[in-house]
Structure 1
Amino acid sequence: MNATKCIIVREEVWAALSHMREPGMTFSELIEEMIEHEKKRRLGEDIKRIQETEKLVEIPL
């Protein structure tokens, strides 16, 4: 379902987002790309934290 929502941002945030967009890219596409990037960053942090704090064992296949 497509829904249009208004998000209020400060003018400097709008300008920064505008500069991040590639030609022809919508703000929705930019935000989707940013969300995926953040998900991957968080996953990497979680993996690093687990490797540093948990005792891992190898499972033979």
Structure 2
Amino acid sequence: MIATKRVAVTESVWAELSDLKRPGETFSQLLEEMIEREKKARLIAHLKTIADEGDFVELPP
């Protein structure tokens, strides 16, 4: 059984989400996709920070 939760959003956020939603797509599907994109973006940003600021040592062959 799938649990259903409600998330309060402003009218303007609801309108923006509605505009992003494709025909036949549920809000849950839209949000899942947005969450995955955000996770990937955060990972890439974190890896970039490590590459830019990290102290690396050369490993012997």
Fold shared per TM-score above 0.5: yes
Provide the alpha-carbon RMSD of the alignment: 1.8
Unaligned runs of 5+ in 2: none
Unaligned runs of 5+ in 1: none
- Aligned CA distance change for structure 1 residues 56 and 6 (closer, same or farther; 3 Å): same
Provide TM-score, normalisation by structure 2. 0.88
After TM superposition, the runs of 4+ consecutive aligned structure 1 residues lying more than 2 A away are 55-61
How many pairs are equivalent?
A: 61
Provide TM-score, normalisation by structure 1. 0.88
Identity of aligned residues (%): 52
Deviations 1:13-41 (A, max 9, x none): 00000000011000000000000000000
